[in-house]
Structure 1
């Protein structure tokens, strides 16, 4: 069961106990916040060496560090170096935003090298693979994102950024608002391109 499922049943997990002690929050209050979706404890069941971190309402502000390769520089040793610096200065979580090189190998190496909760943005890998396989992100099969999410979860990724709120109607509103800046999210831009070209919902 997930932390959320446990919380909704009123169960206290070992992870919740750790967060309760770390944050000096009563266990009952923490369970209620998790059950309401106000607090999360990112932890993939496949990881055993993980530092437990609570994130959300009424808890300490957490620091996340983004690392990741690009098509121009896809050397895992630099990512591990960045990871170790981030750990040394006290980051709470880390995200692998790689878009260059062997993305599965890079992610798996980072997971092995860190005790911190690791996050990803699956649309990045889905886009990179779709461009390699289909020649263009607009040809991405909708199942690709789910396949990537499943693969990353099986590898041990603890949390993911997904762009569920992006809809055709929200894109229309953005057009009408006359924004000064365009979409600034890389993942959002990938999805927008696919949605507009295919005239399909996210």
Structure 2
């Protein structure tokens, strides 16, 4: 391929098979889809390693998409039971599945999910880091957190929740200001705790260009 991402292709005037698929589903012209992808008004999450993907578009002028959250956890780590939810979600025509796995054989489940699901797959790398590395939170390194993003991308994940918006400066403000509630994002609270324990900068913020390079690849 002489392009990296769907946006890269669109900007070069290249119509991908994913754009054609989205155009057919949305009853739009291929040029409409291509031009809005080029402008950043439509996204087509499509990892080249997700071979079973039936592409969907998200953005301006397109249908609202349904996302289903699931995943194995300490309370329920049975992969087969969780896959039953996947099959039911696909039967009901969901367009996206978010794997929120945080405990147990997360890699095995993720790979099976990507293999069987034509729906686009999303993950939260910060959740998986806690389950993937058998060590205390403060013992996980910046490099290891970035390695989880790399691994998810290589496995075929189409989109990820990256907690890049919090850094040492905002964390300092949190401590000084009286919030009415604690941090409501689980991934954000884990990352905040990691920064407090290690005294280091948020690697997803500090090395954001590297995160983008992984996604482009």
TM normalised by structure 1 equals 0.90
Structure 2 CA distance for aligned equivalents of residues 161 and 172 of structure 1: 23
Matches of 2:81 and 2:99 in 1, distance apart? 12
1:31 to 34, 41, 59: 34
Aligned: 1:13 with 2:50: no
Contact 1:80 1:113 in 2 (8 A): no
Aligned to 1:48: 51
Question: Displacement, 1:91?
Answer: 1.0
- Map 1:110-149 to 2 at 5 A: 110-130=113-133, 132=134, 134=135, 136-149=136-149
Q: Which runs of 5+ in 1 are unaligned?
A: none
C-alpha offsets along residues 51-81 of structure 1, whole Å, 9 cap, x if unaligned? 1100122211111101111112200111111
Indicate whether 1:181 and 2:181 are aligned.
yes
Q: Measure the CA separation in 2 of the matches of 1:129 and 1:48.
A: 24
Displacement after TM superposition at 1:49 (Å)? 2.0
Per-residue CA shift, 1:135-159, capped at 9, x if unaligned?
x212210011221111122211111
Pick the aligned partner of 2:110 from 89, 107, 125: 107
| 1:152 equivalent in alignment to 2:147 | no
CA distance 1:28–1:175, change in 2 (3 Å): farther
1:169 corresponds to 2:169? yes
The SS at the match of 2:110 is: helix
Partners of 2:21 and 2:132 in 1: CA distance:
39
Q: How many residues align?
A: 199
Q: Secondary structure at the match of 1:184?
A: coil
* Long gaps (5+) in structure 2: 203-217
Q: Partners of 1:176 and 1:191 in 2: how far apart?
A: 18
User: Bigger shift: 176-185 or 190-199?
Assistant: 176-185
CA distance in 1, matches of 2:24, 2:60: 16
Secondary structure of the 1:15 match is: helix
* Structure 1 residue runs of 4 or more that deviate by more than 6 Å after TM superposition: none
8 Å contact from structure 2 (residues 50, 115) kept in 1: no
Check the 8 A contact 2:69/2:99 in 1, yes or no.
Answer: yes
Alpha carbons 2:120, 2:158 under 8 Å: kept = yes
